[in-house]
Amino acid sequence: MPSPPAQPPRARSLAVVNEEIRGLLEAGGLVSAEGRCRYEELLVEWAASVRGGVAEAA
């Protein structure tokens, strides 16, 4: 018998994602060259969380 599909990982809250984004920012609101890739990943995660929140509210 096939096993049930795996549950997708739970999305982190917007507050947690925002906190990590803020942690990457340097003085003046600039992201270091090393942190740029992670920053972009976090923006994608943030946008997905916003879309998820809108879908839940509707």
Looking at residue 56, its pLDDT comes to: 54
- Selection from 22, 15, 8, 7 nearest residue 49 by Cα: 15
Question: What is the pTM (predicted TM-score) of this model?
Answer: 0.64
CA 27 to chain centre: 22
pLDDT means per 10 residues, the chain with 58 residues, are: 58 88 80 86 90 61
8 A C-beta contact, residue 55 and residue 48: no
How far apart are alpha carbons 35 and 57 in whole angstroms?
Answer: 33
Q: Which residue has the tokens 């906190």?
A: 19
Looking at residue 3, its pLDDT comes to: 63
Domain ranges of the chain: 14-57
